[in-house]
Structure 1
Amino acid sequence: MSETDMATRADTGMRASPWDIAATDPSRCALLIADTGESLTYGDMMRGADRIAGFFAAAGLREGDVVAFLLENRAAYVQLCWAAKLAGLYYVCMPRQVSEDDAAYILQNSGAALLVASAATAPVAGRLSARLAGTVRVLSLDGAEPGLEDFQAAVAREGGPPPADRRRGASMLYSSGTTGRPKGIRHPLTDHSPHQAPPRHRMLVEGYGFGPDTVFVNPGPFYHTAPLRFMMHVQRCGGTAIGFRRFDAETVLRAIDRHRATHGFFVPTHFVRMLALPEALRAACDTSLMRCAVHGAAPMPIEVKERMIAWWGPVIEEMYGGTESIGTTMIASADWLAHKGSVGRPSGSTEIRIEAPDGSECPPGVEGLVLMRTGKPFEYHGDPAKTAESQRPGGWATLGDIGYLDPEGYLYLTDRASSLIISGGVNVYPQEAENLLSVHPDVADAAVIGVPHPDLGEEVKALIVPRPGARPCADMAERLVAYCRDRLGPVKSPRSVDFVESLPRSDAGKIVKAELMRRYWPEGRRIPR
C-alpha cells in the first residue's frame, strides 16, 4: 500500500485498519519505547493482537465482556488493546500506581472478568487476585507470580483463531479520580467492524494532519484517555508512535530530535520540564519537523504556552474535553495568541452553555459552570448519583469546570468546581494563583488549597516546591504572598505558604488535591469529591 493510498484511506473516516497495514507493509514501525528500546512492527503488533484475541475468545469472553489492564507503558499494551477491539470487548486501562482499594472498585464496577498485569504491578495484582478470588482471572505478562498466572503460557495453551464478525470493542475508561473515587464511562458498542475507525478519527486526520508519515511522540501514560486514543488513531493511519516507560524531559526532547517527530500529545508538566532544561541542550535538539503538538488534561499557564510557541513555533494546539466525551473544544496557536488563556471554541457537534448558580444562562464574560452537549448520551457506569449530579435537562452535562465564554464564543476555564475555597463567605478558585506561582523564578511546582481557619472557615494556602538553589524560609514565603497580592489582590491570594519536597501528581500531570487536603483536614471533612 502506498503512502498516498494510506493517507486517502485514513481521510475517508471509514475503514482505517492497522491489520491492513500489517498485511501490506509488515515491517513498518508501529511503536517504539524510546527509553527501553522495545519496538513493534505492524506485522508483529497485529499477529500478537490476533493471538490474544483468540485467547480472549477461548477463555469464554463474549462480545461486550470486559478485560482490564494494570501495566506500565510497554509494547504489549497496544497489542492487548487491539486484541480487545477485535474480540468485541470493553477494555479498562487502570493507572499503574492505582491503590488496591481503587483497583478493586474499578474491577468490580466494570465487571471485568480478566486482569492482565506485569512484574511491575504484581504486588497490587496479587492482592487483588486473593481479594477477588473466583470473580476475576489475573495473569502476568512477565511469567507466573504468586496469585498470577503466566499470560504467555495461557495464550499458547488456550489460544485459538481470533473471533470473526464481532463488533468493534471499545475502551471503558475511568476518570482520573484525583478528587475521589474513579468514575467509569462506558458507551454502548456500535454496529461497526474493528477495521472501521470511530468518528473522532476524521477529526484527528483533518484537524491535526495524522497520516502514514506521522511520528507521534507520546510521553504520557498509555492508560490515560488522550495518549492511548491518539496513539491508536496514529496506528490506524500507518504512522509510528514513540512511547516512554517513564517521562524524562531530556529523554523526550532528544527523542523528538532523533526520531524526527512530527506530532505529539503533552500535558503542561511536560512543557514546563522541557523548558527548564539547559538552554544549550534545548538549542541542540531539532524540533523543526514538529507540525502539531497537542496539549490537554490540565490548565496551561499563559507564560508557559507563550514560551513554547516562541520555541517550537505556532504548532502548539490545545484540546479541552474529558473521558466522558460530552464535548470538545480546540484552539490553534494563532487563535490562542489572539485569545490568550482560551481553550478554544466548540468543535464538531459540541455546544457550550455557561450556567449560573440559579440555573440560568450566563451572558458572555460572566463565569459559571461549563455545560456541554453533543447529542450523545453518557453515564457513569453503575453510579446513578454521580450521573445525575453531572447532567442537566436538555442533554447538557458538565465535567465540573468553571469558566466563561467571550463574545466570540471562545471558552476560558477559571477552575474546577470541586476546588472551590470558601473563605470568609467569599468564593475563591485557586487556579489563578497556582498559574501565577508556577512561573515564579523560585518555584518549581505549586498548589493552592483551602485549609481550616477558626474565623474565616477556610484559609487560602499555597504549597510550594522550591526550585533548586532557592532557600525556603519565612522571608521567601512573605515574598511569594506579596507577589500574589500585587497581581491578584488579597482575596484570591494565599494567606500562608508551606514548603514541600514534592506535590502528588497523577501520571496525567494533575495535582491530586484530595491527598493534599487530607494533611490539613480531619478525615471526612472538606475532601473534594
Structure 2
Amino acid sequence: MDISQSPGFYAIAQADPDRVAVIDTDGSRTTYGELLALVNQVSHGLRGRGLGTGDVVAGVLPNGLDQVIMLMATGQIGLYYVPINWHLAAPEIDYIVKDSEARLVVTSREYAVPGGETGTAGLAEGQPVTAPADRTAGAVMWYTSGTTGRPKGVQRALPGAEPEAIVPLYTWFLGEVVDLKPGDGVHLVTSPMYHSSPCAHTQFALHFGHTVVIAPRFEPEIVLELIERYRVTNAMMVPTMFHRMLQLPAEVRQRHDLSSLQQVIHTAAACPVAVKQGIMDWWGPVLYEYYGSTESTIAFSVKPHDWLARPGTVGRPAPTFEAKIFDDDGAELPPGEPGLVYVKSSLGKFEYRKDPAKTAASMRGEWYAPGDIGYLDEDGFLFLCDRRTDLIISGGVNIYPAEIEAALLEHPAVADVAVIGAPDEEWGHNVVALVEPAEGVTPGPELTEELLAHCAPRIARFKHPKVIEYREQLPRTPTGKLSRSKVRQEYLDAR
C-alpha cells in the first residue's frame, strides 16, 4: 500500500487493516484494523454516556493500548482529552479532574480513581465497530505544572473539521522539523504519555502509518534491546536517557545493532553538548532536537548536521514561528545578547483553561514567553542559557546552572547533578552543586577536589560551586526533567 500521501490513522486502518499498529508493553500486537474497531466502539461508548463536542474526558492510564485508544477515540468525536500523571497523589488528581470539568475519568485497576471507568472495555462493550456519525476533530488538553501554583490546562479551540482535514498540516510540520515521513516506520515510546511530547509523537506515528512500540519502562539496556528487536526507526527521548545510556559499559553498548535508527528526537530539557556529541559518535547523526513548551508547541528545531556545525544550539524557528529576544523592559535585544525568549505562531493560540489572567501574564501582545533565557546568533540560531526561574545572581553576575551541570556531567564519577543558588548575605547567592555519584563511586573530600579541578578548564572560576554536596538520588520527573525547585527547597529546608 502506498501511504506517501496518507490522510492519517483512520484512513490507513481502513485501507490496510493488517498493518501492525501497536506492540504493547507485554509484546502483544494490535493491527490498525483491530485498533480502529476498538477506537470506534469507544467513540460510540463515550457518546452513549452523553458526551458531546467540547466536553472533557480525563484518563489516568499507564502507557499502553488503552491510552492509545482514548487518544484516537476522543480525537474523532470532538472531545478534549486530559491525560493525567498517574504518579500524582489523589488530591492532585482530583484537582485536575475538577478544574478540567471532566465528565468522565477513564482509569486502570493499577491507578484506580473513585468513580472512574476502569479501562476502555466497558465503554466498548456492545458498541458497533463502524465509524461514528458526524466525526469532528478533538484535542488533547495537557495540564502543565508551571513554576508556581497549581497546574493549568492548556486549551486550544477545536478545529471544527474531520480529523482527516487537519492531519496533513501536522504531518507536514513534523516532516519539515524532524524529517518524519509516512511509510513503514517503527516508533519507540520511552516516556509516559501523560506528557505532551510522548503523547503527541504516539499520535503522529499512527497518522504516519508507523508501528508504535511501547517500552515497559525506561532502562538503558531494555531500550537498546527493543530498538534492535523491532528495527526501530524513530523515537522520542530526553537527555537524561542519553546520559544513562552513555554510562553503560562499552561491551554492552557494542552488543546491540542500532543501525535502523533514522530519527531520535529529543526535547524537554537542555542537553549538554558532550552528551549529545557522545550519542552521535555512537549512533551517527540521527539526533533531532526541538525546543518549545506545551503552550508554544515546537517553536525551534535543529537537524543533526546543523547542530554539529553549531554545537549547543536548539535551532532556528520552526515553520510558521517567529522569535525575538527581549530584555526586562521589553526592548528587543541584538544577536548575541541574552534575554527572555519570546515566540509567536500562526498555527493557533492557546489559553489557560478558566484563567485569563495567567494567559495574559504569559504574553507580550502576540508574543509568548516560554520562560527561558537565551540569545540568537547572527544566523537566527537560538542558544539557551537557562530557565529564568533558575538563574543565579552572585555578586551581580548572572550564572546559569545548566552550564555548570553540563561541565560536571562530563566527569565519569557524576551520575547526575543539580546546581542551585543558595542565599548568601555578601554575594546574594552562592553556587551549590548537589551531585549524585556514579555507581561504585565513594563521595568525599577527594572527589570534591577532583570535581573542582575538572571544572577549571571548562568554566570560569566565578561559576565554580562554592559548595558540593552528595545525594543518593536527585528528583527528576518521569520524562527526565530535573526538578530544581524541589532540590532547592529540600536543600534550604535542611538548613
The interval holding the TM-score normalised by the smaller chain is over 0.9
Query: Can you give the 5+ residue segments of structure 1 that lack an aligned partner in the other structure?
Result: 10-15, 130-136, 142-150
TM-score scaled by structure 2?
A: 0.94
Root-mean-square deviation (CA, aligned residues, Å) is: 2.2
Count of aligned pairs between the two proteins: 492
Q: By how many angstroms is 1:180 displaced?
A: 4.9
SS in 2 for 1:107: helix
Q: By how many angstroms is 1:424 displaced?
A: 3.8
Alignment correspondent of 1:57: 47
The answer to whether the aligner puts 1:417 opposite 2:388 as a matched pair is yes
142, 151, 157: which one aligns with 1:188: 157
Amino acid across the alignment from 1:379: E
SS in 1 for 2:314: strand
Q: 1:180 to 1:254 in 2, by over 3 A?
A: farther
Q: By how many angstroms is 1:192 displaced?
A: 1.4
The answer to whether the aligner puts 1:305 opposite 2:296 as a matched pair is no
Amino acid across the alignment from 1:27: D
Partners of 1:73 and 1:246 within 8 A in 2: no
Distance in 1 separating the partners of 2:298 and 2:21: 29
Superposed, 1:174-253 pairs within 5 Å as 174-177=143-146, 180-198=149-167, 199-206=169-176, 207-253=178-224
Q: By how many angstroms is 1:71 displaced?
A: 1.4
Query: Can you give the 5+ residue segments of structure 2 that lack an aligned partner in the other structure?
Result: none
Partners of 1:52 and 1:155 within 8 A in 2: yes
Partners of 1:179 and 1:514 within 8 A in 2: no
Alignment correspondent of 1:379: 351
The answer to whether the aligner puts 1:508 opposite 2:486 as a matched pair is no
Task: Tell me whether 154-163 or 221-230 shows the greater mean CA deviation.
Answer: 154-163
Q: 1:289 to 1:24 in 2, by over 3 A?
A: same
Distance in 1 separating the partners of 2:131 and 2:36: 11
Q: 1:332 to 1:153 in 2, by over 3 A?
A: closer
The answer to whether the aligner puts 1:21 opposite 2:18 as a matched pair is no
Alignment correspondent of 1:45: 35
Q: 1:474 to 1:181 in 2, by over 3 A?
A: farther
28, 39, 61: which one aligns with 1:71: 61
Superposed, 1:471-482 pairs within 5 Å as 471-482=442-453
TM-score scaled by structure 1?
A: 0.88
Alignment correspondent of 2:362: 390
Residue identity over aligned pairs, in percent, reads 39
Amino acid across the alignment from 1:54: H
CA-to-aligned-CA distance 1:223-269 (integer Å, 9 cap, x gap) = 11111111211111211011112111111111111111111111111
Partners of 1:370 and 1:400 within 8 A in 2: yes
The answer to whether the aligner puts 1:165 opposite 2:134 as a matched pair is yes
118, 131, 140: which one aligns with 1:140: 118
CA-to-aligned-CA distance 1:321-371 (integer Å, 9 cap, x gap) = 111136521111111111110001112111110011221111111000000
Partners of 2:171 and 2:208 within 8 A in 1: no
CA-to-aligned-CA distance 1:257-298 (integer Å, 9 cap, x gap) = 111111111111121122222222222211112111111111
CA-to-aligned-CA distance 1:146-199 (integer Å, 9 cap, x gap) = xxxxx5345427889764114201010122447653232100001210233442
Amino acid across the alignment from 2:118: S
Task: Tell me whether 79-88 or 421-430 shows the greater mean CA deviation.
Answer: 421-430
Alignment correspondent of 1:8: 5
Task: Tell me whether 429-438 or 92-101 shows the greater mean CA deviation.
Answer: 92-101
Q: By how many angstroms is 1:87 displaced?
A: 1.9
Partners of 1:463 and 1:499 within 8 A in 2: yes
Alignment correspondent of 1:134: none
Distance in 1 separating the partners of 2:242 and 2:379: 28
Partners of 1:91 and 1:171 within 8 A in 2: yes
Amino acid across the alignment from 1:192: A
The answer to whether the aligner puts 1:352 opposite 2:323 as a matched pair is yes
CA-to-aligned-CA distance 1:412-446 (integer Å, 9 cap, x gap) = 01100111223344332211011111221110001
Partners of 2:42 and 2:123 within 8 A in 1: no
Task: Tell me whether 87-96 or 35-44 shows the greater mean CA deviation.
Answer: 35-44
Amino acid across the alignment from 2:364: R
Alignment correspondent of 1:13: none
Superposed, 1:87-166 pairs within 5 Å as 87-122=77-112, 125=113, 129=114, 137-141=115-119, 152-153=121-122, 155-156=124-125, 163-166=132-135
Partners of 2:422 and 2:432 within 8 A in 1: yes
Distance in 2 separating the partners of 1:154 and 1:317: 38
Task: Tell me whether 354-363 or 420-429 shows the greater mean CA deviation.
Answer: 420-429
SS in 2 for 1:330: strand
Q: 1:61 to 1:246 in 2, by over 3 A?
A: same
Partners of 2:82 and 2:141 within 8 A in 1: yes
CA-to-aligned-CA distance 1:431-467 (integer Å, 9 cap, x gap) = 1011111221110001111223344343221111101
Task: Tell me whether 401-410 or 478-487 shows the greater mean CA deviation.
Answer: 478-487
Q: 1:522 to 1:261 in 2, by over 3 A?
A: closer
420, 426, 432: which one aligns with 1:461: 432
